[in-house]
Structure 1
Amino acid sequence: MTKDSGKDLPVDSLLYERRERVFLVLAGIFLSSMTLLNVIGITRFVQLGPMSLAIGVLPYPITFLCTDLVCELYGKRRANFLVTLGLGLNVFIIACLYLAQAVPAVSPETMPPWQMLNLAQPVGMPNGDTVSGSVELFDFIYSLTSGAMFASMMAYVAAQYCDVQLFHFWKKLTHGKHLWLRNNFSTLISQGVDSFMVISVTFGAVWLAGGISTQQMLVLMGSNYLFKMCCALADTGPFYYFTFKLKRYLQL
């Protein structure tokens, strides 16, 4: 018998509880980072050195560290379950946005003053629409984010499942050795898939309409991937540290 949180638990029960708690923490960080990407998305672009980035990209590389840790500690099945859960959450978010858009707004007499925007000039949106004049704030946000969320969901599905498959491919190929190889190679390739898809789907309509140049598209793709590549290489140290510590803590 051993003690945990003041209660006597068998060793097997304690290990089970520890493993489920750690998985819950990793899943929570993964889902929070993914949701934050969809919430803030392309609402603002920032300049980090030579990179022009949507702020939604900033927390996203953490998701790949989480899936790699789940792959290493819990196996392929748990990792795929986590990615599928994230896909379901993406669908839920898009459904909530669609429902909110479909429900009629309150009358102008009872409408809060911040609910309407008065645009001085027409604004081109990522989905190819143009909004101008007096527009409801939610309609503006919906036009801005709905296309980007659909793009991020498509990129998410391709990149995350790709990451899990490649991680286990490299693990099997190296017979469980060389953590750095499966961590970096799986993430670098899947991040490239994600960067290409999310930019091409989000801004594809604007690019075809001539609202954004090919050079700007390439800069966005390159900046997106460069940032994720730097994060992927930088998380090698944390991946080694957490893998070593958690394997001892979870007695794996």
Structure 2
Amino acid sequence: MIGFNELLWFSFALVDLSILLLIYRFFGKIGLYVSIVISIIICNIEVLKTVTLFGLTTTLGNVLYASIFLATDILSEMHGKEDARRGVILGFVALVLSTLYLQVALLFIPDGSDFAQPHLEALFGLLPRVALASMTAYLVSQMYDVWAFHAIREKTGVRHLWLRNNGSTLVSQFLDSLVFCVIAFAGVYPMSVFGEILLTTYGIKALVAVLDTPFMYLARRIGANQAALA
């Protein structure tokens, strides 16, 4: 059944992917780098909130996280493998630094008038296993995505953009979910619950991956127009 959460989720996905294209249109690859940094930081805050989507309990942040894969695919298609890898590393550095800086902020002794400390601790109190899982899954899956995108392109040439976009992203999204769930949850939940978390986490991300296909074609047109005007 399609309810408010589902409609809001679809609407946000379309708006977020459209904004990514607008940023690329006006700021080029620098805009994509900025989008990667913003998305990786915000989605790791959103992921703390659980919601019900399509009858499943899942976390927020999946739309923004999936848009990072679109950004790196655009970098791969229009600017090359090295620029895509640079975007991945930049996102990883932003994730590590934001995590560390927030932990330092929690160490400061709050003033008696402060009201934020317990809320910040609830949101950003470091869970080492989950933090390690998030960072490892991001780096492994994104590096694989860049490699797979170019491996498919070498086989097909410039044809079948949909294939390298979806082929690389769908597999890398599963790799991301698998690495994260194994590091964060293996041994914590029974295998049946672990499997359900893995499949639902991947399913939502995969839906965004398919949804971003027309945006990938629009991005290639934008990049071609920019190259023609350069």
Q: Which aligned pairs between 1:66-145 and structure 2 lie closer than 5 A?
A: 66-101=71-106, 103-106=107-110, 110-113=112-115, 115=117, 136-143=118-125
1:53 partner SS: strand
CA deviations on 1:64-85 (whole Å, 9 max, x unpaired) are 1111001011000100111111
Q: Distance in 2 between matches of 1:147 and 1:193?
A: 18
2:41 corresponds in structure 1 to 35
Partner Cα distance (1:165, 1:222) in 2: 24
Give the structure 2 partner of residue 6 of structure 1.
Answer: none
- Is the 2:40–2:94 contact (alpha carbons within 8 Å) kept by the matching residues of 1? no
- The runs of at least 4 aligned residues of structure 1 exceeding 6 Å deviation read none
Report sequence identity in percent. Answer: 27
1:172-183 alignment to 2 at 5 Å? Answer: 172-183=154-165
Q: TM-score, normalised by structure 1?
A: 0.74
2:152 paired residue among 147, 165, 170: 170
Name the one with the larger helix percent. 2
Gapped regions of structure 2 (runs ≥ 5): 1-23
Assess, with a 3 A threshold, how the Cα gap between structure 1 residues 106 and 158 changes in structure 2: closer, same or farther.
same
3-state SS of paired residue (2:110): coil
Q: Deviations over 1:5-64 (max 9, x none)?
A: xxxxxxxxxxxxx999311222222221111122222x2211111432211223111011
Alignment gaps of 5+ in structure 1: 1-17, 116-135
Q: Which has the larger radius of gyration?
A: 1
Report deviation, 1:88. 1.0
Between Structure 1 and Structure 2, the one with more strand by share is: 1
For 1:112, the aligned partner's letter is D
Q: Deviations over 1:153-173 (max 9, x none)?
A: 110000100000000000011
1:205-216 correspondence runs (5 A): 207=188, 212-216=189-193
TM normalised by structure 2 equals 0.80
SS at match of 2:186: helix
Counterpart residue number, 1:225: 202
Partner SS for 2:157: coil
1: CA distance, partners of 2:113 / 2:186:
35
Q: Distance in 2 between matches of 1:113 and 1:183?
A: 46
